[in-house]
Amino acid sequence: MKVDGACFCGQITYEAELDTDRILICNCTDCQTLSGSAFRTVAFTKEDAFTLLTGELKVYVKVADSGNPRQQSFCGNCGSPIYATSDPAGPFYGLRVGSIKQRDQLVPRVHIYNRSKQHWLDQIPSLPAIEQMP
């Protein structure tokens, strides 16, 4: 599936071709911290199927649970995460679904790192829902 995306401020824009069978929810503690949320949704693309159209990404290298260094690429202006990859880069990028314009069409196929999943996530369907800020 061809997608396009951008950071929050618009300085970073990109296009990518991704495999819709490789979309997941990651519950690892790194993703919780780096996303500022309880999990992160990730869609995979090959390095050669990702094109940075505008801007320049900043990179932070984080050592993962596995001991492998992981490049965390983000907008240096607004801080929006764009993707993570191995260090050195490639061959796959884990695009941060929140930056993809077609995110409503990207359905996760699996949860990973369930050992660190927040216990209250399963209760979300039973919470009251309000359409906009009250």
38: Cα separation from own chain's centroid: 13
Give the pLDDT confidence score for residue 134 in this predicted structure: 85
pLDDT tens digits for range 13-57: 999 999 999 999 999 999 999 999 999 999 999 999 999 999 999
Give the pLDDT confidence score for residue 89 in this predicted structure: 76
57: Cα separation from own chain's centroid: 15
Q: Could you give the dihedral angle defined by the CA atoms of residues 100, 102, 108 and 111, in that order, rounded to the nearest 10 degrees?
A: 20
Query: What pTM was estimated for this model as a whole?
Result: 0.91
Domain parsing of the chain, residue ranges? 2-118
Domain 2-118 bears CATH identifier 2.40.160.40: no
